[in-house]
Chain A
Amino acid sequence: MGQITLSSVTKVFGDVTVIPPLDLTINDGEFVVFVGPSGCGKSTLLRLIAGLEDTSSGKILIDGQDATDAAPAKRGLAMVFQSYALYPHMSVRKNIAFPLKMAGASVEEQNRKVENAARILNLSSYLERRPGQLSGGQRQRVAIGRAIVREPAAFLFDEPLSNLDAALRVTMRQEISELHQNLKTTMIYVTHDQVEAMTMADKIVVLNAGRIEQVGSPLELYRNPQNLFVAGFIGSPKMNFITGAEAAKHDCATLGVRPEHLDVVEGGPWQGVVGIAEHLGSDTFLRVHVEGIGDLTVRVSGEMGLHHGDRVSLAPQAGKLYRFDANGKAIA
């Protein structure tokens, strides 16, 4: 079991309110991603759940039990840190066995569980090494192994992949998703990378300045962002925002259109000149300067041979325009 409920949770550091009253329910077995720009309070929120920070007010329930003031070790949660936080003076075996040792497990039980975790994570041949002798990806797997052996109610991941190179990040991302499929344990994952959020999450929680902007499945957030912040944060490259006269024509303060929803066509409504063309092979991203509107990013097929200085005309796809009012709220 691993249902976690936050009710009116706040966190105040001195005079600074990092988390204003916040309510959230994470269901058993869900893969929930907290995403937001740096300093948005997502890591603080995770640390509140872990018990590494004290909540200023409000309640944290884990499987219905009040855990607000419980010590980290008593919450039945396991955490994987950004820096891996392995014990450098212990072998991989001892690192993974440490939580079992603290729980008073017998040596036989420790060995059995450590070897089982090592098999799942392909670490069997590294058990006698020290963390310093491992690569970044292997260290991350040891950190995950240390979390698995506790059989926690939920796993907490604090930006676990940000110290890895891009290729390894993709592999580890898939490994963590696979782990979730196999264990079916609740996972809470903090990242500032919206690609990680989109690819891994059952449910994304978008945070900004300690407030929840929107909660939903990745595609819900992509299709129906409730405000400018979510619209700008989810999707890559990010959504184009148009203000002024063009927005007024559509009865809104800001008009949003995603780069993939703009087509290069003959006689479209928006005329412009290509500034930068980024050729990625499969796709090409164009930065088009449109008269009276400003710069728009357009995603076109990689086959389209457009270059700096070419004149193009653009048309938004039907029904793919997002409208926002003066407060940044989406207009249905």
Chain B
Amino acid sequence: MSRKVSATRKGIVTAAAWAVGFLIFFPILWIIILGFKSEGDAIKAPLAVLTSAWTLDSYHEVQERSNYALHFWNSVILSVGSTLVALAIAIPAAWAMAFVPGKRTKDLLMWMLSTKMMPAVGVLVPMYLMFRDFGLLDSRIGLVGVLTMINLPIVIWMLYTYFKEIPGEILEAARMDGAGLKAEILYILTPMAVPGIASTLLLNIILAWNEAFWTLQLTTSQAAPLTQFIASYSSPEGLFYAKLSAASTMAIAPILILGWFSQKQLVRGLTFGAVK
């Protein structure tokens, strides 16, 4: 027998859920609204903001002052590039840890994760000096390398948990059937892990797209992604809410759209194996 839920109770819970959802979404909504206001209207009291005139001025100005296309392409190259490199390293690594674990595999996984617990600023100076000496400052290659490394632990962990769900007997069957290591990973493991690999790919692109610490520290113009584009509208010239909001909206729009269209895949991947 299923539990009986009264209509009122259902109504209250539904309203509460929508309220929490709205609260979480509100900052993004407010940024989008402010982007369509004039600089003077944007700093008014909230109600006055809503009733003031709508305008595209901020977008025009942002377009004139910065090279959105360059930053957009930098973001795409850095996030997709670092994700693909990370996957190329992580798939064989996770295969090894999931299917031929050694005595220290668990420790190794914990150690990798522990590097994420360290505050990034702790290694800023040595990283900066290395980048300077190798001529990597403001270069896409250098940044792809950094983003790959900082997200690699998460990518390996995610793939490891997906691979653990794949029965070892299937891989053994492939071995009996004459598949070498390459054929085993290519024809059996990867196709079976596609949902997991896809959600890892999406999540990592989102993480890399929004990464702000290293991208702000190690780039200035040529390799600067959209995080730098947003930042250029905050501190140096005082605060310009409307332009900052317009820039932020332009920066998050692509990743928001990507997330919207792939949400089914993302959720499926993140709950992979949770229900047998």
Contacts and interface: CB of A to CB of B under 8 A. Distances in A.
Interface of B is mostly: helix
A73 B167 contact: no
B169 A102 contact: no
A256 to B, nearest CB: 39
Give chain A's interface secondary structure class: loop
B191 A81 contact: no
B176 A77 contact: yes
A79 B173 contact: yes
A146 B177 contact: yes
Contact of B169 (A78, A85, A88, A103): A85
A98 interface: yes
Contacts of A71: 175
A72 B192 CA distance: 22
B167 A83 contact: yes
Interface residues of A, number: 22
B197 to A, nearest CB: 13
Q: Which of B167, B175, B176 counts the most A-chain CB atoms under 10 A from its CB? A: B176
B176 A78 contact: yes
A99 B172 contact: no
Contact of B178 (A73, A81, A88): A73
B169 A98 contact: no
B176 A73 contact: yes
Contacts of B192: 87-89
B176 A72 contact: yes
B170 to A, nearest CB: 5
Interface string A72-104: 110001110111011111000000001100110
Given A88-B192, A89-B192, A102-B183, A81 B177 contact: no
B109 interface: no
Contacts of A77: 176
A331 interface: no
A234 interface: no
Contact of A73 (B169, B179, B187, B191): B179
Contacts of A89: 191-192
A87 B188 contact: yes
A50 B169 CA distance: 13
A40 to B, nearest CB: 20
Interface in B144-196: 167, 169-170, 172-180, 183, 187-188, 191-192
A150 interface: yes
A134 interface: no
Interface in A126-175: 146, 150
Interface of B: 167, 169-170, 172-180, 183, 187-188, 191-192
11 contacts: A72-B172, A72-B176, A79-B176, A83-B167, A83-B169, A85-B167, A85-B169, A85-B172, A88-B192, A102-B177, A103-B178
